[in-house]
Amino acid sequence: MVSPDSSGRAVAATTCPNTLCRVRWRKDPGFRLVALKDVRRLTGLEPAEVLRRPSTQQLTRIDESGAREEVVRVPVEVLIEEPEG
């Protein structure tokens, strides 16, 4: 059962033994939008290599001023983890 909470967002309700528990859940994202110019740095692969994969898409982002930016929808498992700090 899914019902809205006080903020209007959906909350999944699961049934626990003898009680009704409300559990908020959020699925981790499977994809990230990466600027085309940053694909090589973040994946270690050339943009053409990444775009040949069936689970990627090249998209164009247009901001309010009309400026365009090429981005790629990349699966998170393809991204290289950058060291923190």
Question: How many folded domains does the chain comprise?
Answer: 1
Looking at residue 34, its pLDDT comes to 94
pLDDT by residue for the chain (85 residues), tens only, comes to: 555 555 555 555 555 555 566 676 778 889 999 999 999 999 999 999 999 998 899 999 999 999 999 999 999 998 987 645 4
Answer whether residue 25 is part of any domain.
no
Question: Could you tell me the pTM of the whole model?
Answer: 0.60
Answer whether residue 26 is part of any domain.
no
Answer whether residue 37 is part of any domain.
yes
Answer whether residue 17 is part of any domain.
no
Q: List strands edge to edge, sheet with 19-23.
A: 2-4, 10-16, 19-23
DSSP annotation of 36 reads G
Owning domain of residue 41:
31-78
Answer whether residue 9 is part of any domain.
no
Looking at residue 81, its pLDDT comes to 74
Distance (Å) of CA 79 to CA 6, 27, 43:
37, 18, 5
Looking at residue 73, its pLDDT comes to 95
Looking at residue 33, its pLDDT comes to 93
78 alpha-carbon distance from chain centroid:
13
Q: Is 44 helix (H, G, I), strand (E, B) or coil?
A: coil
Answer whether residue 58 is part of any domain.
yes
